Structure 1
Amino acid sequence: MRDKIVLIDGHSILNRAFYGVPDLTNSEGLHTNAVYGFLNIMFKILDEEKPEYLTVTFDVHAPTFRHKMYADYKGTRKPMAEELRQQVPVIKEVLKAMDIEIIEKEGLEADDLLGTISHLCEEKGMDVSIISGDRDTLQLATEHVKIRIPKTKQGRTEVEDYNASDVEEHYGVTPKEFIDVKALMGDASDNIPGVPGVGEKTATKIIQQYKTIENAYEHADELKPPRASKNLKEYWEQAKMSKVLATIDIHADIDFDLEKARHGNPYTSAAHEMFQKLQFKNMLSRFDVDTVSNDVEDSFREVTDKQEIDAVFAEAEQAECVGAAFSRDPGNVLPLFAHPSGYGRISLAWGKDKIVSIPCDMDMDFGKLTERLSCLAGKVKCFSMCGLKEFLAYLPEADSGSSFDVIVAAYLLNPLKSDYNYEDVAREQLGLLIDEKLDDTAKSCYEAYTAYAAAPLLEKKLQETGMDRLFREVEMPLVFTLYNMEQAGVQVEAEELKAYGDQLGTRIVELEKEIYDLAGEEFNINSPKQLGVILFEKLGMPHAKKTKTGYSTAADVLDKLAPDYPIVAKILEYRQLTKLKSTYADGLAVFIGADGRIHGKFNQTVTATGRLSSTEPNLQNIPVRMELGRLIRKVFVPKEGCVFVDADYSQIELRILAHCSGDEQLIQAYRDARDIHRMTASQVFHTPFDEVTDLQRRNAKAVNFGIVYGISSFGLSQDLSITRKEAAQYIEHYFETYPGIKKFLDDSVAHAKENGYAVTLFGRRRPVPELKSSNFMQRSFGERVAMNAPIQGTAADIIKIAMIGVDEELRKRNMKSRLILQVHDELLIEADENEVEEVKEILKDKMEHAADLSVPLIADMHTGKNWYEAK
């Protein structure tokens, strides 16, 4: 049996992985997709090959050239993307942690190292597998040297294999002749100029006939086509240089110790630590958990004796901080006395060696356990959980002052990661790996310990970043407010909802018939491909944008056509109505509970800006721009004896912009309660205030709100259907009118570039990694984020403060009225008929005094018998 060595072209595979794997970042904002893809490819190869030896080669300074005689040749290789460049030292660190041999040498490219090592190993009687994305390495193929070229397709890695015979069969030339083909055709990506006018087919035919470029040059007059003949003679020196550049050195001066390349167990504790840091969770299963086990597990114990349970709670009550977790038993098989929710046990942790799990049994049912736990939550200085809101139904004595939610804290520190669980917190904050194969009892203990141990670490980090007050005074009280809103829910008239759906269905059928009549045939309106053929081929409409799958029928394309083509207007209406019917008319019905109310979820750890999101169902996306969409609000009604009071902020983001920018003119306008959009129009269009037209005001309004989102001249020109030049002039005049705003936006971008994050008035940080991207579009997006995040984030903070104030005041006064919905800048109260004026007073007070700005905050209020009327 011949020993085998696997040689990996480091830069090549890393590059291939970078462009084949979607962007990934860890909690520290480090790009990791190339490293992740590289390891996936390497593991696949190692699982298949099971080699005795393994080495990875890297360029020291890519690209380098093989001969000093061509040192003056200037190639046009694109610089490495910054996100990829950052990952080169990371993959090297990972490989070193895995005890994998790395070879690199100044002045040599990685494939020279591959060529030399493969030649040495073949001479020693070994089989060689070279893993590279560079087809130049095909010249190294022999009977015992196999070239393996990985390709990522639809998220899966496939590998093409080439021995010498495979190269000849696939390319029609031998591996050695492959060099000459490359010399003629060139390769811009590899800085090989080749001979102009000679492509792959022509180059292959020439080398098949003449074997080398030298022989082809001797017969240049015979070459076909004539252009190849002429250019080979004219560019002969360039052809010779290209051959040198294309030839991999198999006799490079390097020191290679085969024993250092011996492949042992790469799954070391150091590698395990690196994989945790990089958050490659699904790769951790490759490690032997016993070699990296957490000593915390040794402290887990199950307590079932009633006296011992009493002792556990008594001891926990004396602790500074207690972590708690609820758990379902394995397989969700409910113990006899388990709660209907499925929870069968609770776990507590109040020290590294104080971690217990208490199951329900005859003597201690779930209700008794939660009573004890609730009492504990009300006594200790810090009661910590992972996702506290989900369990507040069982913890009536918990309060925001002593409670700590490690998920919320972790989100505040890294809001770009929107899907946190306790395993993430354990890994990021405590360096703990939670084995997915553990039973639910052990997992529950880990969750309780994570809540206990991570709380002080997270609190310290919040203090260091200046977000501790935001966490304590806004985010933690908000957990309780959101719980109260979810419990209250909102009543929905099921029959009215069905009638609304039927109304939509009738109109959709009418639209289908009208569209078919205008098209002259029936087709699938929901098929972009069929729709594109109808609009742009059969009906010959302009603005056709061809994609790989057909014509684009995206909204921005159809919006331009709608004014001139009735069929397009009807198609847009059809799309809106089918969306309304499926998502809302039919979709909302699923969420109506037995009490006739929808109890949706409000999520505070999803958006990067700090805004809340709504799910199951999403009530924040109910359409408001078209009347038929707004009508769905009629099905949301207050319970008997109540009315809706709806309050929303007037231009809150513009008011925040005025405060943050300190622009005197904008501040004064708000203090004088002037029409901001009319005033802006007057200034931008140089028109007396009283003579501003409705169109000018609408355009000024678009500029006002667009500026908050860092709108470009192109974006504004699209919104207003004007030229880009006109839009640029609008923006220029706007900044002349409000110079403070221009300075604020510029300063915001500069701050984010320098510090890596944008910040709100309340200290909320929004990381902006896009500002460091090598991609222009990404950087431009980052600049817009840097401008907008302080404004939108501050608005999110203010509405949260208002929500907390309203909810707490209603409860403090023992009122029947309840806060039930929040949609961005809007709050909806189900108000008892006898408390309406008091509710309005509370809303006005808490909303308008949620922040102390240099301009007044104004809340507009309306009442109604349904949400539509109240809005």
Structure 2
Amino acid sequence: MPTLLLVDGSSYLYRAFHALPDLRTAAGEPTGAIRGVLSMLRVLEADYKSDYRAVVFDAKGKTFRDDWYPEYKAHRPSMPEDLAAQVEPLHECIRAAGWPLLMVTGVEADDVIGTLSTQAAAAGIDCVISTGDKDLAQLVNQHVTLVNTMSNETLDRAGVINKFGVPPERIVDYLALVGDTSDGVPGVSKVGPKTAVKWLDTWGSLDAIVAHASEIGGAVGENLRKHLDFLPLGVKLVTVVCDLPLPQTVTELTPQAPDQDKLAELYARLEFKGWLRELGGEAPPPAPRTKAAVPPAPTSEPTAHVEPDRSGYQCILDATQLDDWLARLDTATLVSLDTETTGLDPMQAQLVGISFAIAADDRVDAAYLPLGHSYAGAPTQLPFAETLARLKPWLESAQRPKLGQHLKYDRHIFANHGVQLRGIVEDTLLQSYVLESDKPHDLGSLAARHCALKTISYDDVTGKGTNRISFSQVEVARAAEYAAEDADVTLRVHRVLRPQLAAEPQLESLYRDLELPVAEVLFRIERNGVLIDAATLVQQSDELGRKIMALEAEAQQLAGQPFNLNSPKQLAEILFNQLGLPVVKKTPSGGPSTDEEVLEKLAEDYPLPKKILEHRSLAKLKNTYTDKLPKMINPATGRVHTSFGQATAVTGRLASTDPNLQNIPIRTPEGRRIRSAFVAPENHRIVSADYSQIELRIMAHLSDDPRLLEAFAQGEDVHRATAGEIFGVTPIEVSSEQRRAAKVINFGLIYGMSAFGLARQIGVDRSAAAAYMDRYFARYPGVARYMEETRAIARDKGYVETVFGRRLWLPEIKSSNAGRRQGAERAAINAPMQGTAADLIKRAMLAVQDWLDAQKLRTLMVLQVHDELVLEVPDEELTIVDAALPKLMGGVAKLKVPLLVEVGVGANWDAAH
């Protein structure tokens, strides 16, 4: 069977730090934990040949367990400074070695590991978990094994029983009784491992122990009875969650070829000389540091990192210095600009300081202007309002060229103070995104990758976690080093990336004519926000809460007894043992499964599974949307202001965050009702303009298939036309089931669906599904030809392109691993369609905004969701906007098929669909 290897990175990090001596480089940089973890990974890689693998670390910040129990891990000491300094370089080493690395915000590494191991077992993939954490013993079953490289211990089911005295399925009960002091989870006082095992041997489970609590004598029995109210929470706290939504599936966790150049660079910096020799390299001497020298564009990946020379940075604290810099800014041909702020919310953060950098001959001059540092003993700073007023003409001048890293954010900060930043001509975030969409685009990564520079991080100056301070509390001298360096390094990165873009006319056009202008439109959309009817959401939450309670009561009535609807164990007992429903599939441990797929199958014939599914669906809607969205309304505007990530998805699609308004569910009536809370103000309407079947139209354009082109040209129902071709009937004779099957095939092919997947989707056997796909390709040979030619182009170039020249890199396209190679081939087929769709909606945004400005209309663009634009339109402008949108959006590109745009109007977003 294929194997998934999961490494509990957080566990190994601490253990390596405490187990190994205090190893350091000649410059004093600590390296012991890095060396220890990498050594363990090398052992694992040699001992366990895996098809899929990942190293999983805890992400920063709180998790859901902190919300359940504020004392959870509250008494753990902060991470030692020498350990914290090793985390980021360790992550770099792991990624460079070809290991996928996962950190999921809001959850613990254990839960990520639990979810992945459960997914793997369900897919017939064995899982090896490398950890020293006893909590993960609860995951062990016939498909999941624990290994500990530090103690050379392997735990299968028998091993768990031998070590703990209880089987894996009783580990949660065991931990709830004995507690977990490291996590701050109290157990039953005086109940140690021996007592817990004795009780579980006697009564079989924690539930049974609770039922017999009155029979247990002595002080320990009394302690148990005092602890009964906490036990349910204790069980929740020690239970590993195994059904999280994760950013990657198991089969996407494919190891990649090590980046030899990057590893050599890291090993040289960390002075791992033996490993460096294995790569055929030697530690280079430290690079010479000249005063603020601007490095030339590297011809290859840099081999060593040095810090920028910060000795020439200036901190502007008096009027004379400000006068000098204002004069320089006014005559500079390009100025690198950055802001420091009180927070990360672009709509509410306040300005703390501004940094500038200017190229001067062979050097870069940089300065920091502090304006809002408020700690005790802070030096006197120039007056905020007066100084900003002096800078305002330069900041607002479109004739004064400005450069920055992610300047959309800085635009918001200045706008919060009544300043409209203009003259943005370059943005290194977008330059990097267009050139290398598959790589990190943060300034630290860009500086390291392109300029061989090691920069000060935000954490370095503000601290981390609960110890983090506001930037306004950072010492001015330290802030000046950090902020001036940001402006300086941004200019240096620009000097490297600018010639690379200039050498690629298509990419230059994509950057200059699309991404830079789109950043302007996104700024305006984010600033506009969308009006939310909080009362509607509160009412929906209340209604959902009552429905959830009613469904719970109905489910318990159908079961004939009370039970916890969220307990797979209790649910399995009722469904299969008491009601005698058929077992659809089994869990990795051999018990009957109650996952969503099973419940959907059973719900076709039995009422209780259907109620359970309804209950789960409504609970998710309530917790994720109706409860949370009202809390995210900006008190100053009464609106929700999402942020659109422009350099996130490799395909060019935008990503909505804080809150994510692109994933509101619309498949159920309750889900669609959430959109009804996105409303238009009085005397306005919401207008939705959506590209119809855009990716299928792009497929027709790219494949040049005559039948597909004709179907779209004639305005036919393309799914009905496909069904007619596949099933050999006239379009009018196509049944609803045949059309549904054709729709699944049309969309499934875009995403690389197999015959097996199609069979499951439309409820036929695999041979029938394969026959349908064969007929499809026989009727649409252009599609088959496009797929084969695209695979060949990807193999030859290492990337594919959208219609407009956006490059989508495929590093696994030549992999010797068949699974990884086939995944890259599927991506090669899909990416040009997704990427072209992303380019089209961006062009549409520009066309619509330009038209609104030219017409001097008051209509606002308030959202962009996938292939849809959402606008807020005054009643008196409704007729002209409604008529113009299809022409504007349909005319942004000339493809071989028409671009059809469907427009809807309503008092709210839901009604506009």
TM-score, normalising length: structure 2: 0.64
CA distance in 1, matches of 2:552, 2:396: 59
Equivalence for 1:69: none
How many residue pairs align between the two structures? 639
Equivalence for 2:300: none
Equivalence for 1:546: 587
Equivalence for 1:385: 404
Equivalence for 1:501: 541
Single out whichever of 529-538 and 805-814 deviates more from structure 2.
529-538
Q: Match for 1:488 among 528, 532, 535? A: 528
Matched-pair contact (CA < 8 Å) for 1:323–1:451: yes
Alignment of 1:447-526 (within 5 A): 447-464=486-503, 466-526=506-566
- Summarize the Cα distance change of 1:848–1:321 in structure 2 as closer, same or farther, 3 Å threshold: same
Give structure 2 stretches of 5+ with no counterpart.
26-31, 37-41, 55-88, 94-128, 137-146, 154-265, 277-286, 291-303, 372-379, 462-477
Match of 1:635, SS state, is coil
Matched-pair contact (CA < 8 Å) for 1:529–1:549: no
Equivalence for 2:370: 359
Deviations 1:442-482 (A, max 9, x none): 11111111221212322333345542211111111111111
Give 1:545 shift.
2.2
Q: Give the letter aligned to residue 405 of structure 2.
A: C
Q: Match for 1:159 among 144, 147, 150? A: 150
Matched-pair contact (CA < 8 Å) for 2:308–2:485: no
The answer as to 2:443 corresponding to 1:422 is: yes
Matched-pair contact (CA < 8 Å) for 1:536–1:544: no
CA distance in 2, matches of 1:683, 1:272: 63
Q: Match for 2:480 among 429, 441, 450? A: 441
Give 1:317 shift.
3.0
Give 1:269 shift.
4.8
Alignment of 1:189-268 (within 5 A): none
Equivalence for 2:774: 732
Deviations 1:616-650 (A, max 9, x none): 21111111111221112211111112111111111
Q: Give the letter aligned to residue 346 of structure 1.
A: I
Q: Match for 1:431 among 441, 444, 452? A: 452
Give structure 1 stretches of 5+ with no counterpart.
1-17, 23-32, 57-61, 63-75, 85-93, 99-149, 163-265, 277-286, 333-338
Matched-pair contact (CA < 8 Å) for 1:516–1:522: yes
Q: Match for 1:857 among 891, 895, 899? A: 899
Equivalence for 2:430: 408
Match of 1:622, SS state, is coil
Matched-pair contact (CA < 8 Å) for 1:758–1:765: yes
Give 1:756 shift.
2.2
Matched-pair contact (CA < 8 Å) for 2:267–2:273: no
CA distance in 2, matches of 1:274, 1:591: 53
CA distance in 1, matches of 2:792, 2:750: 16
Equivalence for 1:565: 606
The answer as to 2:684 corresponding to 1:676 is: no
Matched-pair contact (CA < 8 Å) for 1:321–1:380: no
CA distance in 2, matches of 1:359, 1:348: 12
Please give the root-mean-square deviation of Cα atoms over the aligned residues, in Å.
4.0
Match of 1:794, SS state, is helix
Q: Give the letter aligned to residue 601 of structure 2.
A: K
- Summarize the Cα distance change of 1:370–1:728 in structure 2 as closer, same or farther, 3 Å threshold: farther
Percent identity of equivalent pairs: 34
Match of 1:564, SS state, is coil
Give 1:741 shift.
0.8
Deviations 1:591-628 (A, max 9, x none): 12223211121221222221111112111111111122
Equivalence for 2:317: 304
Equivalence for 2:747: 705
Give 1:719 shift.
0.9
Matched-pair contact (CA < 8 Å) for 2:267–2:275: no
Matched-pair contact (CA < 8 Å) for 1:533–1:551: no
Give 1:49 shift.
9.2
- Summarize the Cα distance change of 1:153–1:750 in structure 2 as closer, same or farther, 3 Å threshold: farther
Give 1:698 shift.
1.4
Q: Match for 1:666 among 693, 697, 708? A: 708
Q: Give the letter aligned to residue 813 of structure 2.
A: L
Q: Give the letter aligned to residue 866 of structure 2.
A: H
Deviations 1:674-703 (A, max 9, x none): 111111111100012221112111111111
CA distance in 1, matches of 2:734, 2:152: 72
Deviations 1:237-279 (A, max 9, x none): xxxxxxxxxxxxxxxxxxxxxxxxxxxxx99658499999xxx
Deviations 1:786-840 (A, max 9, x none): 1111001110110011012212221232211100011111111100111112212
CA distance in 2, matches of 1:432, 1:274: 24
Q: Give the letter aligned to residue 406 of structure 1.
A: T
Q: Give the letter aligned to residue 703 of structure 1.
A: I
Give 1:554 shift.
2.9
Q: Which has the larger radius of gyration?
A: 1
- Summarize the Cα distance change of 1:500–1:469 in structure 2 as closer, same or farther, 3 Å threshold: same
- Summarize the Cα distance change of 1:308–1:42 in structure 2 as closer, same or farther, 3 Å threshold: same
Deviations 1:825-863 (A, max 9, x none): 111110011111221233222210121101110111111
Single out whichever of 548-557 and 682-691 deviates more from structure 2.
548-557
Equivalence for 1:3: none
Equivalence for 2:821: 779
The answer as to 2:311 corresponding to 1:319 is: no
CA distance in 1, matches of 2:271, 2:796: 32
CA distance in 1, matches of 2:628, 2:480: 37
The answer as to 2:803 corresponding to 1:761 is: yes
Single out whichever of 342-351 and 818-827 deviates more from structure 2.
342-351
The answer as to 2:624 corresponding to 1:583 is: yes
Deviations 1:358-412 (A, max 9, x none): 122664415743762662463567411122111213265545x743222232233
- Summarize the Cα distance change of 1:77–1:341 in structure 2 as closer, same or farther, 3 Å threshold: closer
Q: Match for 1:574 among 599, 602, 615? A: 615
Matched-pair contact (CA < 8 Å) for 2:308–2:453: no
The answer as to 2:355 corresponding to 1:347 is: yes
TM-score, normalising length: structure 1: 0.67
Give 1:496 shift.
1.4
Q: Give the letter aligned to residue 531 of structure 1.
A: L
The answer as to 2:546 corresponding to 1:555 is: no
CA distance in 2, matches of 1:652, 1:314: 51
- Summarize the Cα distance change of 1:529–1:741 in structure 2 as closer, same or farther, 3 Å threshold: same
- Summarize the Cα distance change of 1:77–1:309 in structure 2 as closer, same or farther, 3 Å threshold: closer
Matched-pair contact (CA < 8 Å) for 2:448–2:454: yes
Q: Give the letter aligned to residue 557 of structure 2.
A: D
Give 1:153 shift.
3.5
Q: Match for 2:728 among 672, 675, 686? A: 686
Equivalence for 1:598: 640
Q: Give the letter aligned to residue 359 of structure 1.
A: P
Match of 1:547, SS state, is coil
- Summarize the Cα distance change of 1:451–1:369 in structure 2 as closer, same or farther, 3 Å threshold: farther
CA distance in 2, matches of 1:707, 1:344: 52
Deviations 1:300-325 (A, max 9, x none): 11122223212212213333321111
Give 1:563 shift.
0.5
Alignment of 1:613-692 (within 5 A): 613-692=655-734
Equivalence for 2:21: 47
Match of 1:160, SS state, is coil
- Summarize the Cα distance change of 1:593–1:471 in structure 2 as closer, same or farther, 3 Å threshold: same
Deviations 1:656-681 (A, max 9, x none): 11111111111121111111111111
Matched-pair contact (CA < 8 Å) for 1:756–1:767: yes
Match of 1:822, SS state, is strand
- Summarize the Cα distance change of 1:40–1:512 in structure 2 as closer, same or farther, 3 Å threshold: closer
